[in-house]
Structure 1
Amino acid sequence: MSSNDSNKRSAARKPVVLMSMGTQERKGHAYQVMTHKYITPLAELSGCVPLLAPSCCGVDDLDQYLSMVDGVYLTGAGSNIDPALYGQKNKTPSKGQDKNRDLFDIPLIRAALERGLPLFAICRGMQEINVALGGSIHQKAYEVPGFNDHREDSNDPVAVQYGDRHTVQALPGSWFAALMGDAPFAVNSLHGQAIDRLGDGVEALARAEDGLIEAFHLPGVAQFTLAVQWHPEWQATQNPHSVKIFSAFGDACRQRAAQRDQ
């Protein structure tokens, strides 16, 4: 093969991004699942190839997974993180948990950071990063004085649940404000839990009108890091702010892939 052919193949290679799946029970069978709404913007806007990893098999192959990818993308889910992982008793026992995902994603986050992999997280994924780095979660954010109720109404149609609920203000002067703009922008809101104490090295990037942390990053690491509490994946191609976020993550993964190919 000529060097030209090799260069063309290298240029055509899309970054590969790891996504950990979650547990779901259906008619007595345990499934590993990932919702289409999370996958499609990664492919369409970030320009990346998703690699879905089952969290039910443990972490023995974690290093091999990470050796194959150029970024890590942690999605939302219907389950809560086990509060024992941040030193609390469970205040929401009626809410489902996914301990397989907890025990996969927390070491995944730490290993991805050590490897310098770009890291993007949504909702539950955001909370996982905070817990992995020693932070804590408000288990019932809607009962915290001063916070609004950020939960959706499950009786509403899905389009209403994912409709704009409040605005978010990026931290003035931050790279996130440069990306998203200085003006407050509207987001959806579908979470009962929220960030409480920030983990080691975690810095807020945006807040809701009530002060709740809606985005953060890890300024002490060299690679792209971003976690958001809302759901930018919902109809992402129709939302200019979502396009900016997924495009920025894709660019970071392409930079990582280019380093791998050198």
Structure 2
Amino acid sequence: MSNCTTKSPLRKPVVLMPMGAQERAGHDYQVMTKKYMRPLVEHACCTPVLVPSCFGSDDIEQYLSMADGIYLTGAGSNIDPALYGQDNLTPEKTQDQDRDRFDLPLIHAALGLGLPLFVICRGMQELNVALGGDLHQKLYAIPDMLEHREDYGASVEQQYADVHKVKIVPGTWFAGLMQATEISVNSLHGQGIKTLGCGLEALAHAEDGLIEALHLPHYKQFSLGVQWHPEWQAAHNPYSIRMFSAFGDACRQRLAGSLQRQNKF
């Protein structure tokens, strides 16, 4: 159930959601899965604006001129490893270089403007790469690491079931938001953070030590990246609701500040 009737700004905050490439029956599509949009609408109480990433980055400033927040989602594609100085060790996996070329400059521009930023799975990895970090391309080939990938032979409900715990860094704002020291999460990724990018700081770790949540503590705006998928059936998960609500509140605060500045002129 949406709690958005309790929110009453002059308008809802606008949140940009870059889309990704998908090929279907010989046609190129730009897509965004409904499961990512639903909690943004129902729990963050924001208006999603879907942005094509296939036409280059020339119009980023124009897109940002209408934005109160940025939300980068997961996807089936991997980031081009050349962007973090590695050879491609997973040639069997699809890439989406158009999204790479759009999202990385979008991240830098959004941070410079002070826009709230919420990034999930691939989006969290993009944030890390944009800030100079790198990735493990094959977590499943590293000794003593958990199996973080989904079972492709299982049902969707089984794939998105909670499969491991993450320990939240004590004393952080994220621990306060979650009201917990440890939570159970789903896991659907073969890659993960290896070296943190400049300015990033871990907020949670998996049982094998992998970074599962992060933020930018030296930036004033809201920033949160998580490696799991809080969007999945978010209405039934209090931790997901808290994350999306906090992001929505940050976007409303950004909108209110923008409207206040406009009213001065």
TM-score by length of 2: 0.94
Report how far residue 12 of structure 1 moved: 3.1
Q: How far is 1:169 from its partner?
A: 1.2
Q: What is the match of residue 79 of structure 1?
A: 77
Structure 2 residue corresponding to 1:213, chosen from 211, 214, 220: 211
In 1, the alpha carbon distance for the partners of 2:227 and 2:123 equals 9
Instruction: Determine the structure 1 residue equivalent to 2:20.
Output: 22
Cα offset for 1:181? 2.0
How many angstroms apart in 2 are the aligned matches of 1:146 and 1:157? 27
1:141 partner amino acid: L
Which of the numbers 109, 112, 116 marks the counterpart of 1:111? Answer: 109
Q: 1:179 aligns with which of 177, 180, 194?
A: 177
Q: Provide the rounded CA distance (Å) in 1 between the counterparts of 2:25 and 2:80.
A: 24
Task: Give 1:89-128 correspondences, 5 Å limit.
Answer: 89-128=87-126
For the 8 Å contact 1:217–1:225, the answer to whether it is kept is yes
**C-alpha separation between the residues in 1 aligned to 2:234 and 2:9?**
26
Deviation per residue, 1:158-207 (Å, 9 max, x gap): 00000010011110000000001233111000000000000000000000
Q: Does 1:130 align with 2:128?
A: yes
SS of equivalent to 2:12: coil
Q: Does the CA-based 8 Å contact 1:172-1:182 persist in structure 2?
A: no
Q: Where in structure 2 are the equivalents of 1:156-195 lying within 5 Å? A: 156-195=154-193
* Structure 1 Cα separation of the partners of residues 24 and 100 of structure 2: 20
Root mean square deviation of aligned Cα: 0.8
Partner residue, 1:70: 68
2:33 to 19, 32, 35: 35
Counterpart Cα distance in 1 of 2:180 and 2:45: 27
Instruction: Give the % identical residues.
Output: 66
Q: Matched residues in 1 for 2:216 and 2:142: separation?
A: 26
Tell me which amino acid in the other structure corresponds to 2:113.
Answer: R
Distance 1:98 1:195 in 2: 19
What SS does structure 2 have at the residue aligned with 1:12? coil
Structure 1 gap segments, 5+ residues each: 1-9
Higher mean C-alpha displacement, 138-147 vs 25-34? 138-147
Report deviation, 1:146.
2.6
- The SS at the match of 2:9 is helix
Q: Distance in 2 between matches of 1:11 and 1:103?
A: 34
